Amino acid sequence: MAKIAKVVPKIAPQLDVNTKLSIAIIGFLAAGILSYLSILRLAGTFGALVSEIMHLLVGRAAIILPLGFIFAAVVLYRVQKNNKLIGEINTRMTWGFIFMFSALVGWLSILNNIKDLGRAQYGGGIWGFTLYPWAFGSLGSIGGGFIFLCFAMIGFFLISQLTFVQFCENLQSSFRHPSKFWDLVPDVFEIWNGQPKSANPTNDEYYRKLNSFNDVLEKTKPKAKITDKLPKLIKPDSSFKTTEQPPKAIYNGFRWKFPPYDILHAGKNRVEAGDVEGNKNTIQETLSHFGIKVDMADTVTGPTVTQYTFKPNNGVKLSAIDSLQRDLALALAVNSLRLESPVAGQSLVGVQIPNKVKSPVWLKDLIQSHSFNQFSGDLPVVIGKDVAGRNLVYSLAKMPHLLVAGATGSGKSIWINSMLLSLLYRYTPLDLQLILVDMKRVELKLYEGTPHLVSNVITEAEKAINALKWTVLEMDRRYKLLEEHGKRNIKDYNEFAQTANLPEAQPIPYMVFVIDELGDLMMLAKSEVEPIIVRLTQMSRAVGIHMVLGTQRPDIHVVTGLIKANVPTRIAFAVASQVDSRVILDTAGAEKLLGQGDGLFMSPSNMQPVRFQGPLVEENEVRKCVQFLKDQAAKTEMHSNFDAGVTEVQKTKISIPGMSSGGSRSENKDNAFDDAKDLVIQYQKASTSFLQQMMGIGYPKAAKIMQQLEDAGVVGPANGSKSRDVYVSGE
């Protein structure tokens, strides 16, 4: 017998988790369906026996009991679909169903006046008969019915996790707007996901336990949401990588829903790196021909490029390897090749070769990812996937400002769209305000009407300058609030405002100011735009204002030294020349990028550029997302962020070092300014020597007038030895 016992475990099948889940789903479905067939007397002798037992236990409520089996099957189906395992049954939900079912069987017993056990099956069964004498005998039928109503309410609040105040507000709104009745119904599947036993939003210990998310290398306390009605946060679960639906937030008594993931497009990822082993041998042999001995190391394949790494022998200079880029490209028969020497954090050199078949990076995959949903920093932004296929997520609050540059068609505007959508999938209009400047008039107009916007999408230079000035005043206002309450930054102030409950201390939302095509704005009014941008990038971080500057003209007249000094985080997409790459990144490399979202990311924490593939976002995805937010804003009757004064001329005088206003320019104009302006417009030619020749004046005076013409927006900046551009036509 002992021998047989030893053999039996070996014969028994070893089932994996998915197989067990599949068997459980089939079992619960079979139990639910057979129970209903038994109640209808369609399951033979066995069904009749099951029906008698069910009616004996719960009486007429037996018609509802099989729904529990079917619901369990649906829950397990969702578990298997998301690859997310439930560690324990939710205690709140279990007790909630017990209270509600007890109320049902109790009502059935009272309504049918069940006084003896023989008639129990016509009321609430044995369960209801047990409760009947206690409720009816002590309180009567009306009092007993009221007690069971209280049981039902307790069960409802246990399941829904709503407060009584929120329930009353929802009920009041449902009477005013019957279409909002379904807002009272709790999302059972969301509640099933192991919610905490305590949901007190003011409990700091609860937040620390609930949101111990990993932020790359450190664990930080998560930010406090800037509304007194906080969203229900999702408990972190390391056993899954994606979520099926975004979280929800309670807003004005309504469940603010973020756009569903179904709006975003997802496709199959297919990558072909080519002959990997052959390329490794080619790299090693080519370097050996030039006297450089190397040992090949690991190879990683990303969506766009494959990186081959090797370790050079002692005594080999990296400059010698860098000088062989063209030779390696010739040997490997590739158009573009980039060397990373050394690879960050390793004593290796990387050779990045384009894949034979590239795989697009879909925004849906990044937003659903574990790294984005459990990111603990403020204002998380999806960057893309690196050369190893890892997700890159970074906090805009830590950047704290961002410069995005690249040639036409390199993927700059698409990346800005993905950045904005990643913010819209994370923040409500109370948490985040947006100001969008679209000088090209075709990229950011898609976001018109989004409830997060403080103003309409700005397409005119004059309104853009007014918006920048308004932002400076808003920054000063926020600093005064922080000073009054003795707080250092927006995060400390918002935590204080939520706990203090003072009318004068209201939470402050984050603000993101996006300018798409900074070059057009700088060419028209550089003397005003540059000082304001420098002022904001220097001071606005502490009060939650962050700038994203995009341009397809990465030259020193647009991306000036002052702007670069205050914007340490930069993203470079494909550019035309090495000079443009150095303007953006202060190093070469962007000229070797492949375009279509292939970029380099440089942040304060890693000054060596990291190559990545930006996510792909289509126009119809943006339209659907914006429409969803607009419809929901109208449904919830929320207070709009819109302020008509943003784009109007500011009445308060703004004093910024280096900024010249229109009045100061007119007061300090040279007497010959108007004559010089007429000459420049007439001949469509502008240079200092031209003014000297045509007006018979000296060089200092001609140079002064030329600078005044540039400040007035008549001519462009100096262009070496060539004549300046004239912005005003002869007509």
Phi, psi of 308 (to 5 degrees): -100, 130
Give the lowest-confidence range in 213-222, 272-281, 487-496, 528-537: 213-222
Confidence (pLDDT) at 126: 66
Cβ distance 229 to 250 under 8 Å? yes
Residue 214 burial (C-beta neighbours within 10 Å; 0-12, 13-18, 19+): middle
Confidence (pLDDT) at 140: 66
Confidence (pLDDT) at 225: 35
The number of CA neighbours under 13 Å toward the Cβ of 407 is: 16
Confidence (pLDDT) at 247: 58
Q: What is the DSSP letter of 695?
A: H
pLDDT digits (tens, 9 = 90+) for 401-447: 999 999 988 999 999 999 999 999 999 998 999 999 998 888 899 99
Give the separation between CA 461 and CA 465, rounded to whole angstroms. 6
Helix and strand element counts for the chain (H, E): 25, 17
pLDDT digits (tens, 9 = 90+) for 191-240: 444 443 333 333 333 333 333 333 333 333 333 333 333 333 233 333 33
Read off the pLDDT of each residue in 547-561 and give the average, rounded to a whole number: 91
pLDDT digits (tens, 9 = 90+) for 140-156: 667 767 777 787 777 77
Of residues 696 and 665, more confidence is placed in 696
| β-bridge pairing 402-405 and 545-551 | parallel
Block residue for tokens 């829950």: 75
Of 426, 368, 395, the residue nearest 217 (C-alpha): 395
Side chain identity at 60, as an amino acid letter? R
Block residue for tokens 């100061």: 664
Give the separation between CA 176 and CA 324, rounded to whole angstroms. 74
pLDDT digits (tens, 9 = 90+) for 16-45: 667 777 888 888 888 878 877 877 777 777
Q: What 3-state class would DSSP assign to 409?
A: coil
Of 664, 677, 667, 670, the residue nearest 713 (C-alpha): 677
Which two structure tokens, joined as six digits, stand for 179?
């279409």
Tally Cβ neighbours within 10 Å of residue 102.
20
pLDDT surpasses 70 at 52? yes
Cβ distance 159 to 96 under 8 Å? yes
Confidence (pLDDT) at 154: 79
pLDDT surpasses 70 at 654? yes
pLDDT surpasses 90 at 72? no
Q: What percent of the chain has pLDDT over 70?
A: 75
pLDDT surpasses 90 at 8? no
Give the separation between CA 659 and CA 529, rounded to whole angstroms. 8
Confidence of residue 180 (pLDDT cuts 50, 70, 90): low
Give 569's strand partners.
402
Give the lowest-confidence range in 158-172, 322-336, 552-566: 158-172
Give the separation between CA 341 and CA 363, rounded to whole angstroms. 30
Of 303, 292, 289, the residue nearest 331 (C-alpha): 289
pLDDT surpasses 60 at 118? no
Give the separation between CA 449 and CA 303, rounded to whole angstroms. 35
pLDDT surpasses 90 at 548? yes
Give the separation between CA 207 and CA 210, rounded to whole angstroms. 5
Preceding peptide of 400 cis, ω within 30°:
yes
Rounded to an integer, what is the distance from CA 527 to the centroid of its chain?
A: 34
Per-chain mean pLDDT for the chain = 79
Confidence (pLDDT) at 539: 92
Read off the pLDDT of each residue in 537-563 and give the average, rounded to a whole number: 92
Of 640, 646, 626, 723, the residue nearest 680 (C-alpha): 723
Q: How far is CA 617 from CA 302, 416, 594, in A?
A: 19, 10, 18
Full DSSP string of 235-300: PP-TT-SB-SS--EEEETTEEEEPPPGGGS-------B---HHHHHHHHHHHHHHTT--EEEEEEE
pLDDT surpasses 60 at 668? no
The number of CA neighbours under 13 Å toward the Cβ of 2 is: 0
Read off the pLDDT of each residue in 76-92 and give the average, rounded to a whole number: 58
Read off the pLDDT of each residue in 673-678 and give the average, rounded to a whole number: 87
Confidence (pLDDT) at 233: 29
Give 272's strand partners.
357
The residue count for the chain? 731
Cβ distance 226 to 494 under 8 Å? yes
Confidence (pLDDT) at 670: 66
Helix (H) or strand (E) holding 18, with range, is: helix 17-39
Give the lowest-confidence range in 1-5, 193-197, 542-546: 193-197
Read off the pLDDT of each residue in 116-133 and give the average, rounded to a whole number: 62
Confidence (pLDDT) at 209: 33
Give 724's strand partners.
686
Q: How far is CA 224 from CA 202, 492, 565, in A?
A: 10, 9, 31
Confidence (pLDDT) at 26: 87
The number of CA neighbours under 13 Å toward the Cβ of 201 is: 19
Of 436, 479, 480, the residue nearest 454 (C-alpha): 436
pLDDT digits (tens, 9 = 90+) for 571-628: 999 999 999 999 999 998 899 999 899 999 999 888 789 999 999 999 999 999 999 9
Q: What 3-state class would DSSP assign to 631?
A: helix
Rounded to an integer, what is the distance from CA 17 to the centroid of its chain?
A: 32
pLDDT digits (tens, 9 = 90+) for 561-573: 899 999 999 999 9
Phi, psi of 257 (to 5 degrees): -105, 135
pLDDT surpasses 80 at 241? no
The number of CA neighbours under 13 Å toward the Cβ of 168 is: 3
Mean pLDDT highest for which of 72-76, 207-211, 677-681?
677-681
Of 298, 313, 288, the residue nearest 351 (C-alpha): 298
